[in-house]
Amino acid sequence: MTNRIAVVTGATGGLGTSMCKALAAQGRTIVASHLPDEKSTADAVAWQQDMKNDGIDVAIYPLDVTNYENCEAFVARVEQEHGPVDILVNNAGITNDAPLKKMQAEQWNQVISVNLTSMFNMCKHVFEGMCERGFGRIVNISSLNGEKGQFGQSNYAATKAGIYGFTKSIALEGARKGVTANSVSPGYIDTPMVRKVPEKVLDNILAGIPVGRLGQPEDIARAVAFLTADDAGFMTGTNLSVNGGQFMS
């Protein structure tokens, strides 16, 4: 398989780590991003070493996905040090929950910037080059709650639903240029964040998942690897729901 440069944003969490491992198994050169603050930098160094201990060399750079100029500089650095970006996985995302009557404008704007505007910021700086070279794979990570909505997450659900419209639109723009764009919508995945949910709440979540278990990060990584494969050129503008049957659309 051709050695291609794959960028994964928000890479150091459970999902991002599995995505990087799956892409590395495909022979990709992995470039990851982390938040540009002191703690995140320290965590990124430890994460990079853990990946190296697993036999995976990953370059990782600071990136503020909400900042257009920072994303431009990040892509330029990747291209200078590694080569043109062939694969982009927009995985960076946050939550900042509250019912609408209590949600503040700052909460809304923060989640919109990190989860939705970031996709424009990153895709803008790689899309044209992908089209010129005749190959590109873009995967945007959405969510079960973008498909069905969720109490107290009007900001988060709006961003994750917005991903579908953005993805389908750029899929049309890149279709004849060899550039595909798709999304993946994870359900409840067995990550440290989900495991912090109170036991009674977690039991209710499990009761609503037909397969009877939480998903594993590898379940999402397999979907990403599938969509970014060299021979996945006929699949574009679609969404893969990986949620154990919890929501079927």
Q: Which residues are catalytic?
A: 156
Distance from C-alpha of 76 to C-alpha of 61, rounded to nearest angstrom: 12
Strand, helix or coil for residue 44 = helix
| Token pair recorded at residue 9 | 């944003």
> What string of DSSP letters covers 75-125?
HHHHHHHT--EEEEEE---------TTT--HHHHHHHHIIIIIHHHHHHHH
Q: Evaluate the CA torsion angle 171, 133, 140, 64 in order and state its sign.
A: negative
Helices (H), the chain: 14-25, 38-53, 68-81, 105-112, 118-133, 144-148, 154-174, 192-195, 199-207, 217-228
Q: 21: Cβ–Cβ under 8 A, 6 or more apart, which residues?
A: 51, 54, 56, 221
Strand, helix or coil for residue 166 = helix
